[in-house]
Structure formats: structure tokens, C-alpha cells
Amino acid sequence: MNGPNLLGPPPVTLPVDPADADLAAGQSAESVARNHPTSSLVWAELAEAALDRGDDVAGYAFARVGYHRGLDQLRRNGWKGAGPVPWSHVPNRGFLRALAALGQAAALFEETDEVARITAFLLDADRNIPADMLP
């Protein structure tokens, strides 16, 4: 059987992240983080920027914050620790990007067990997640 698990939990769809509009308006990620510290999206942006400039420690820290903020949001929206978090639902992408950045930073630290857990988490969240999101 290759279709979705009809007996599993329903997909979680997070609400629109208010940080998204501020980032789109050109505000710096640092100022947006101060105004929206619960946003996974802004922490993912900070993590990706840090990793892009070669600062793996800051990237790891920012990604870890985004991941934990995202777990809080997922739980508030009915997630029970497992089940789909579709990439196709744009507000879910902040969490998924933070998780992917955490995996990328963990790979740089050669933390292979963490990379395996994050890869499995991303694939459990959405089998169709873009391949470049996987650590």
C-alpha cells in the first residue's frame, strides 16, 4: 500500500506566522526575532544565514531555538508527537526549515545519530519534502 495512512493522525497545519509579513517587508531577521520570538520561521532564517556564512555553532543554536518553538506551535495545534506536517502548507515551512537547518548543523558537527533522527523526522513529517531540505 503506497497511499497515505488513513488510520494515522490528520496533517497539522500551523496558522500564518506573523513574522512572515515582517520579513517580507524587509525587516532584518534580528529585529523580527525580537518582535516575534516564538516564530520558527525567523529562527530558521537566522540559522540558514549563519550556516551560509560558515558559523555552524550559531546556526545550530538558532536552529535549535526554531525547532523547539515549532514543537510548541505544533502541540498547540493538535500534533501529538507524530504525524504529517506537510511542506505544501506554507506556514509549516518555518518549523521544517528550522529542523532541516538543525540537521545540517548536526552534520557539520558529525553528530550522526542526530542527523539520522532529524532525517527520519523530516521524512515522517512529509515524504514529499524537497530533497535539498534533508541533511
Structural domains in the chain plus CATH codes: 27-133 (1.25.40)
pLDDT, block means (10 residues), the chain with 135 residues = 65 96 97 98 98 98 98 95 95 98 97 97 96 94
Query: What pLDDT is attached to residue 9?
Result: 87
Query: What is the reported pTM?
Result: 0.93
Nearest to 125 by CA among 76, 83, 71: 83
Query: What pLDDT is attached to residue 1?
Result: 41
**What are the helix (H) ranges across 3-92?**
18-24, 29-35, 40-52, 56-76
Q: Which three cell numbers stand for residue 8?
A: 494515522
